[in-house]
Structure 1
Amino acid sequence: MFEVILKKGKEKAVLQRHPWVFSGAIEQVKGKPANGDVVKLLDVQGRFMAWGFYNDQSRVALRLLEWDESVAIDDNWFRQKVGIAVDSRNFVLADGKTNTCRLIFSEADYLPGLIVDKYADYLSVQILTSGIQNNIAVIIDELQRLLQPKGIYDKSDASSRAHEGLETANEVLAGNPPPELVEVMENGITYGINIAEGQKSGFYCDQRDNRMLVANYATGKKVLDCFSYTGGFTLNSLKHGAASVTSVDSSALAIDTLKRNIVLNGLNEAKHHSIQSDVNKQLRRFKDEGETFDIIVLDPPKYAPSRSALDRASRAYKDLNRIAMLLLNKGGLLATYSCSGAMDIDTFKQVLAWAALDAGKQVQFIHQFCQPEDHPVRSSFPEGEYLKGLLCRVI
């Protein structure tokens, strides 16, 4: 077993069970562990601190797994963690109206670098660390034993794999390849999911609760769904009686899938209009044309992948929300989100306050959105709370 020595004064986060140790906090590595090996972390006096995955190519050199020296990080350990994570999602799937959710959420489920999403009878997996890559065989075997999926597909095409010295992957890991569209159900609404070619793992199940919350306000309203992807907010709004919904997304594949989803659910196609366009440009076109809406949803991609990008991202969020506020009818609602982990909710509120000031509007925060229970936030890892949002009344 290889040993890694922590620098003096760097013990606090480890003792508080934060799962990351950065390369600059390491005093010495004894031996030459391979990337993804499980190593023993010691303090400078040689006392045990934790077991963790090692990777000398990553800024996060150690991803900690276990703080009890007597616990072996073996196949049984991985099987137990997978089982606990899967069992904890049973409530999400219990009512029969939802058959898609996140089964494993990386550090939150003590499996750093592993994302597993359930899409009906298929599983989509993202492997983002060398440690998980080294142990994926037993993890896949346990997922098969517990769930008997028709197929498990590897969507490990995230850029973060490069930081771990891993190449992208897009392939079947077990069972059959998924069809072009896998039909899943969320809150009684059916979606066609393209696992192989869709964004991320294929679908954004982290907005499940928020789609319902926004839809409750949509009856009789004119709704604009920006960054609509395959139509989560659009479909919920139409189902709840929106007078009209306009969906904007830059992806032709997403727009085509959204249209199919409207037909799939028997919703009123005449009440829907889709636009394939850059959202920022389209919002400015709406402004020039004098177009207005009662509800606008802004669910953009991650603008701040790291804290170093936060200032630039804040300006982008401010400009996006400013334009949206100018398109709202008096008393209209803005449901606006950030999926950037570096953007905390207080900073996001400040950004919206700046946007309102520049737009000459007053804003009331009437609801705070967050990620659902299948995306838990571990108390020792607040970085896991990446999704935040606000429902704003613009007056």
Structure 2
Amino acid sequence: MLFITIKQGKEKAILAGDPLIYASAIDKVEGKPNEKMKPGATAVVQSSSKQFIGRAAYNSRSQIRARIWSFDEAEPVDHALIKGRVQAALARTAAAAAKAKPDQLLRRVDGDLDRLSGLIVESFGGADGYLICQFQSGGVEAWKVAIVQALMAGTGCRNVYERCDDLLRKGEGLPLVAGALAGEEPPDDVMYTDGGVKFSLDLKTGHRNRLR
């Protein structure tokens, strides 16, 4: 376990609910050297007077040094927490998913909104289609397997693909990887409708071309 001590006066934004902790707000990080170097390692965040603030995912390679998982001292960061967050995100977007047409792209998980900082998940084609995931922080990268399992269980979708945003992952010190995490890779192009306008969409990259 790591311990992050926040500089005096810098804890106000965090206590107000801001889940992002920048390098400039941190006084010191204590713990085993190998844990400090592991992107997404769980850390206890505390004030300068050693009062508990929260538990966070720590990443020494990012300017966003830590992302708060929970402000509840009784809530551990474990598989149950990750599964619950994914389930809540899917429940939040369930009504929209039920109404979505097969050629619509729908965001099912939206990072900080769903308390899964750095995770973006979009669905295309419903349960028989694809889930496109972007892991843009060390915290969600560390819990990738649990996240994918929860997504598949919650949607019934068997095809999960990881899209790579090179710039964001480089900024987090994460390897540049892309590919199928479960099932099949999406085709090179699908027909996609946004606001009544049709596009040719590459689900692997997010690139789209408007169709006449």
Common fold, TM-score beyond 0.5? yes
- For 2:143 and 2:161, the matched residues in 1 are separated by 16
8 Å Cα contact 2:6/2:45 also seen in 1:
yes
Bigger RCO of structures 1 and 2 (CA < 8 A, at least 6 apart): 2
By how many angstroms is 1:185 displaced? Answer: 5.1
8 Å Cα contact 2:138/2:172 also seen in 1:
yes
By how many angstroms is 1:186 displaced? Answer: 5.1
Name the larger-Rg structure. Answer: 1
Residue matched to 1:114: 119
Residue matched to 1:91: 95
Residue matched to 1:39: 43
- For 2:190 and 2:156, the matched residues in 1 are separated by 16
Measured on the aligned residues, the alpha-carbon RMSD in Å equals: 1.9
Taking a change above 3 Å as real, the CA distance of residues 17 and 197 of structure 1, as seen in their structure-2 partners, is closer
Taking a change above 3 Å as real, the CA distance of residues 88 and 178 of structure 1, as seen in their structure-2 partners, is same
By how many angstroms is 1:188 displaced? Answer: 6.7
* TM-score using structure 1 length: 0.49
Give the residue type in structure 2 aligned to 1:129.
S
Residue matched to 2:29: 29
Taking a change above 3 Å as real, the CA distance of residues 30 and 96 of structure 1, as seen in their structure-2 partners, is closer
Q: Any idea what the Cα deviations from partners look like across 1:320-355, whole Å, max 9, x if unmatched?
A: xxxxxxxxxxxxxxxxxxxxxxxxxxxxxxxxxxxx
Asked if 1:13 is matched to 2:13, the reply is yes
Name the structure with the higher helix share.
1
Q: Superposed, which structure 2 residues align to 1:300-339 within 5 Å?
A: none
Taking a change above 3 Å as real, the CA distance of residues 91 and 186 of structure 1, as seen in their structure-2 partners, is farther
Residue matched to 1:80: 84
Q: Superposed, which structure 2 residues align to 1:261-272 within 5 Å?
A: 262=212
By how many angstroms is 1:44 displaced? Answer: 1.2
- For 2:72 and 2:146, the matched residues in 1 are separated by 22
8 Å Cα contact 1:128/1:158 also seen in 2:
no
- Select which of 173, 182, 204 maps to 2:181: 173
By how many angstroms is 1:100 displaced? Answer: 2.4
- For 1:188 and 1:150, the matched residues in 2 are separated by 28
Taking a change above 3 Å as real, the CA distance of residues 52 and 96 of structure 1, as seen in their structure-2 partners, is closer
- For 1:26 and 1:152, the matched residues in 2 are separated by 36
Asked if 1:140 is matched to 2:148, the reply is yes
Taking a change above 3 Å as real, the CA distance of residues 165 and 28 of structure 1, as seen in their structure-2 partners, is same
Give the residue type in structure 2 aligned to 1:108.
L
Give the residue type in structure 2 aligned to 1:146.
G
Residue matched to 1:58: 62
8 Å Cα contact 2:190/2:202 also seen in 1:
yes
By how many angstroms is 1:198 displaced? Answer: 3.7
Give the residue type in structure 2 aligned to 1:14.
I
Asked if 1:4 is matched to 2:12, the reply is no
- For 1:134 and 1:44, the matched residues in 2 are separated by 28
Taking a change above 3 Å as real, the CA distance of residues 170 and 157 of structure 1, as seen in their structure-2 partners, is same
- For 1:86 and 1:171, the matched residues in 2 are separated by 22
- For 2:84 and 2:99, the matched residues in 1 are separated by 26
Q: Superposed, which structure 2 residues align to 1:222-301 within 5 Å?
A: 229-231=208-210, 258=211, 262=212
Q: Any idea what the Cα deviations from partners look like across 1:281-329, whole Å, max 9, x if unmatched?
A: xxxxxxxxxxxxxxxxxxxxxxxxxxxxxxxxxxxxxxxxxxxxxxxxx
By how many angstroms is 1:131 displaced? Answer: 1.4
Give the residue type in structure 1 aligned to 2:112.
E
8 Å Cα contact 2:83/2:150 also seen in 1:
yes
Taking a change above 3 Å as real, the CA distance of residues 2 and 197 of structure 1, as seen in their structure-2 partners, is closer
* 3-state secondary structure, aligned to 2:69: strand
* TM-score using structure 2 length: 0.88
Taking a change above 3 Å as real, the CA distance of residues 197 and 55 of structure 1, as seen in their structure-2 partners, is closer
- For 2:167 and 2:201, the matched residues in 1 are separated by 22
Residue matched to 1:362: none
By how many angstroms is 1:149 displaced? Answer: 1.7
Give the residue type in structure 2 aligned to 1:3.
F
By how many angstroms is 1:97 displaced? Answer: 3.8
- For 2:39 and 2:58, the matched residues in 1 are separated by 6
Taking a change above 3 Å as real, the CA distance of residues 197 and 160 of structure 1, as seen in their structure-2 partners, is closer
Name the structure with the higher strand share.
2
Q: Any idea what the Cα deviations from partners look like across 1:23-54, whole Å, max 9, x if unmatched?
A: 11111111133221010001111110011110
By how many angstroms is 1:76 displaced? Answer: 0.8
Give the residue type in structure 1 aligned to 2:182.
A
By how many angstroms is 1:169 displaced? Answer: 1.5
8 Å Cα contact 2:164/2:205 also seen in 1:
no
